[in-house]
Structure 1
């Protein structure tokens, strides 16, 4: 079985709201920290524009395979980020991981 690329996406809201300097700082800081983790490809930050959902922001990234994704999840930068930023600053989220159809 050949390895499948994985698209990891999360949509979320912040305790500080969506149009605040603190939200901007969170998005920029998150992008800088997470995109630098080995194995992360195509890191993107999104702002919600649809009235069909009440999530404000999204992150998306790609991993070459399950091994790269697993490495990201246990990487010290990621675990520290989750404990010190995500858990404290995000009030709700939905996560989805998909293999990319190629």
Structure 2
């Protein structure tokens, strides 16, 4: 049986101007903190370019299994980043999590 990966994406707008030092710091801190969690693979910081989307930025990452995804969600570093930074600095948020259908 083939193991499917989970692709986790979080798209968001910050309370700061898009090109501000505060935005750069949030994105860099997110990358450092979240990509350091052992179960996280292929971490990317994304900048939206489509006029069809209402979000400015995104974080994308992959997990090898549901257990890894669950471990990420309950990991202390993730929980602290969400509480101390996400809930304070993010004004709009959309999370999309997909199981890969690679054949």
TM-score using structure 1 length: 0.95
RMSD: 1.1
Alpha carbons 1:39, 1:68 under 8 Å: kept: yes
In the TM superposition, what is the alpha-carbon distance from 1:3 to its structure 2 partner? 3.9
Matched, 1:6 2:13: no
In the TM superposition, what is the alpha-carbon distance from 1:2 to its structure 2 partner? 5.2
Name stretches of at least 5 consecutive residues in structure 1 with no aligned partner.
none
Give the 3-state SS of the residue equivalent to 2:49 in structure 1.
coil
Alpha carbons 1:3, 1:65 under 8 Å: kept: yes
Paired residue total: 102
Alpha carbons 1:3, 1:66 under 8 Å: kept: no
Give the 3-state SS of the residue equivalent to 1:85 in structure 2.
helix
For each residue in 1:51-94, what CA deviation from the matched residue of structure 2 results, as whole angstroms up to 9, or x when unmatched?
A: 11121001100000000000000001111111101110100111
Displaced runs of 4 or more, over 4 A: none
Name stretches of at least 5 consecutive residues in structure 2 with no aligned partner.
none
